[in-house]
Amino acid sequence: MSRRRTLGPKKKLALLVSAVTVAGGGAFVMASTSNASQAPTTKSAADSTVCQGLATALGNNQKFIEGQRANPDAQSEARIANREAVVAQIELQQKASGCTVGESAQDSQPAQPAQPQQPAPDEQAGGNEQAGGDDAAQNPGGGGAAASGEQVCNGSTVTLSGEDGAPAASSNQFPAGTKLKVTNLDNDKSTTVEVTGVSGSCALLNNAAFEQVREPGKFLIRRALIEKVG
């Protein structure tokens, strides 16, 4: 008769522990692989309208800060501190939206020059030289001299500065006090705001103004109609 070998209690326990260890290791590898495949990937401005809008807003604020540092005045330090806080807020929005944090870009569509208009007879004779002198000095591009109701900033995109407060705008072409009407042609919503400061783009809306014309989830208006109304 043949004898059948039987394993003792200690050997059985050792084999059981080994099996559990191998199974656990396999489960850990599978979990690690699964987590790696599900890791979120960041998007760039080229991949997402949301990311492009945030990158443009960040670039506009950084350009403003650079301008203040290059040509400081008595208020520059306060303005820079304010815009640095805005930059930090935009970077938080980039992170929350899955965008590349810190990516910045200026307006991708440069403003197209308006068609020249024939001056009025009194302007040809120099009769309106005094009235246009200040605008010409403050706005070398001629934006401030646009007539009320005239379309301006042709081809410019519109985004937000990240600043709080009542609806307002900032601009690199129009002086404080100018009123601009911004229409989002993708949803026909519009807002009329007053320029209250300087920025790196033709028309940069603050948070409250942008909310009045934005499309849900978007931080950039590609098709915008901007008019000087006052």
Fold of 139-228: Barwin-like endoglucanases (2.40.40)
Mean pLDDT across 30-48: 63
Tokens 């820079």 correspond to what residue?
A: 80
Judge whether 159 and 105 are in contact, CB under 8 Å: no
What CA–CA distance (Å, rounded) separates 76 from 67? 9
Please write the tens of the pLDDT for every residue from 40-62: 678 887 778 888 888 888 888 88
What CA–CA distance (Å, rounded) separates 97 from 51? 8
List Cβ<8 Å contacts ≥24 apart for 126-135: 135/175
Please write the tens of the pLDDT for every residue from 90-114: 888 888 889 999 998 865 433 333 3
Mean pLDDT across 122-142: 34
Which distant-in-sequence residues (6+ apart) come within 8 Å of 218 by Cβ? 49, 50, 53
pLDDT grade, residue 176 (50/70/90)?
Answer: very high
